[in-house]
Amino acid sequence: MSKTSAGEARGNLAEQGHLVDMEQFLAGEQGRAPAAGDELCRLLEAGKILYFRESPFALSGGDTDVLLRQRLSQAGWHKNIAYRPRQDRVTGFDAAHADAKRLHAALRNYSRQSLAYTAGLLPAYGACWRLDYASFRPLEEQGRQLRLHARNDLIHVDSFPKRPTHGDRILRIFMNINPAAERHWITGEPFDVLAAELGADFARLFLRSPRASLWKRAARIVGFNHRGSAYDDAMRGIHQLMKENSEFQANCRQHHSHFPPGSAWLVFTDAVPHAVVSGQYALEQTVIVPRSAMFSPEKSPAAVLERIAAARPAKAA
Ligand code: SIN
Ligand code: FE
């Protein structure tokens, strides 16, 4: 089971180790709404997972059924089925499929409900975040055959090479809609803690040389400009080098989370290394929170990388 330490939050049991039990947190916070929201932002920025035993944004039975039925027809699937809220469009699914309209409606409902709830819970973020995609993850994660850098069962931080964030933050809202099985995650120490603990080894293990990454070079060759940044290149490299490093995979400090059917959780996946060990049928909505909205900006991966860069002897690029 997970390693836990005594909660610091006013002596209650809501905050234990890597998870904040939101049922307990909210029960102790009646009437403190804005301050509670800011405190939750701080907890997220410290690498905690906000965990709801029962999702506060329930999906209707009809929407859940249409999503669970998708396993019967896997033709035309991509890695996940994605929903783009700004365009109200589904990708990764055959539009001619009989369920296409209902699937679209179910994903739109999840996207809208999870966003509305989270904007109310975390108003400081909700006022300025940018909407990213939502996704449905219909395949069993245990034993999935994916190329190394696409594997979800290896511990990694998230980075989107095609949608660079320039130092802004990746916050994801998950829900396990599987009626019977848990979703099992492993998470590691958050980015700033990992970097402080590893010291000079962090750069040796996880930072590639500052020359253009393979991705950037390939993009240049095919004439596609991904408008990335040194930050996005570094985060992509860290994502890959974590997955390639079997010693890190085996020996980094690990917390296990067993998310039961119907539960939901929020986490900054750019800072909290994570892997999904098993589970099928999860929904997820991503928002990009500006770095300037952070309550603890020094914990952001961009700030950590800037500190590392400032401490390193200058090298020719
Ligand atoms: C991931 O972001 O690595 C996958 C998480 C999940 O699907 O549970
Ligand atoms: Fe991930």
Segment 183-240, tens digit of pLDDT: 999 999 999 999 999 999 999 999 987 555 555 555 555 555 567 889 999 999 999 9
Tokens of residue 185, six digits = 């995650």
Residue 28: its pLDDT value, please? 84
User: 153: CA distance to ligand 2 center in Å?
Assistant: 9
Any ligand 1 atom below 6 A from CB of 115:
no
267 lines ligand 1 (CB under 6 A): no
Look at residue 233 in the predicted model and tell me its pLDDT.
93
The confidence score (pLDDT) of residue 32 equals 67
Q: Is the CB of residue 90 below 6 angstroms from any atom belonging to ligand 1?
A: no
Are the beta carbons of 71 and 181 closer than 8 angstroms? no
Q: Give the pLDDT of residue 208.
A: 84
Alpha helices in 199-270, H assignment, sequence order: 200-206, 214-221, 230-244, 246-251
Tokens linked to 112: 């809208």
**In this model, does residue 128 exceed pLDDT 80?**
yes
- Residues 170 and 264: their CA atoms lie apart, in Å, by 17
pLDDT value at 1 more than 80: no
Q: Specify whether the CB–CB gap between 79 and 287 falls below 8 A.
A: no
pLDDT average, residue stretch 14-26: 85
Give which of 32, 77, 48, 51 is closest to 187, Cα–Cα: 48
- pLDDT at 29 (0 to 100): 75
Which ligand 1 atom minimizes the distance to the CA of 137?
A: 7
Q: In sequence order, what are the beta bridge partners of 19?
A: 16, 49
C-alpha 149 – ligand 1 centre gap (Å):
13
Higher-confidence residue of 222 and 20: namely 20
Rounded-to-integer distance, Cα 300 and Cα 168, Å: 9
* Rounded distance from Cα 239 to ligand 2 centre (Å): 9
Q: Kindly indicate the confidence band of residue 312, based on its pLDDT and cuts at 50, 70 and 90.
A: confident
Report residue 109 as tokens.
Answer: 């409902």
**Ligand 1 centroid – CA 30 distance (Å):** 32
Q: What is the pLDDT, as a whole number, of residue 155?
A: 98
| SS3 state of residue 5 | coil
pLDDT recorded at residue 184: 97
Q: Which ligand is nearest to the CA of 186?
A: 1
Phi then psi for residue 151, to 5 deg, are: -65, 135
Residue with tokens 């400009």: 225
Q: List strands edge to edge, sheet with 274-278.
A: 255-259, 183-187, 274-278
Q: 209-230 b/e with 16+ CB inside 10 Å = b?
A: eeeebebbeebeeeeeebebeb
Ligand at minimal distance from the CA of 259 is: 1
Looking at the predicted structure, is the pLDDT value of residue 290 above 80?
yes
Q: What's the CA angle centered on 246, arms 226 and 148, to 5 degrees?
A: 40
pLDDT for the residue numbered 55: 98
- Report which protein residue has its CA nearest ligand 1's atom 8: 276
Whole-number pLDDT of residue 214: 57
Report the separation in Å between the CA atom of 308 and the middle of ligand 2, taken as the mean of its atom positions: 23
Q: What are phi and psi of 253, to 5 degrees?
A: -65, 130
Spatial separation of the C-alpha atoms in residues 283 and 136, rounded to whole Å: 5
Ligand 1 atom nearest 174 alpha carbon: 8
Poorest-confidence range of 27-36, 95-104, 273-282? 27-36
The per-residue pLDDT for range 247-258, each reduced to its tens digit, is 999 999 999 999
Inter-residue contact 155 to 186 (CB < 8 Å): yes
Query: Does residue 272 have its Cβ closer than 6 Å to ligand 1?
Result: no
CB-based contact 175:285 (threshold 8 Å): no
Higher pLDDT, 31 or 118: 118
pLDDT on residue 5: 38
User: How far does the centroid of ligand 1 lie from the alpha carbon of residue 257, in Å?
Assistant: 13
Residues 77-125: tens digit of each pLDDT: 466 889 999 999 998 877 667 788 999 999 999 999 999 999 999 999 9
- Which ligand is nearest the CA of 239, by number? 2
For residues 43 and 315, the model is more confident at 43
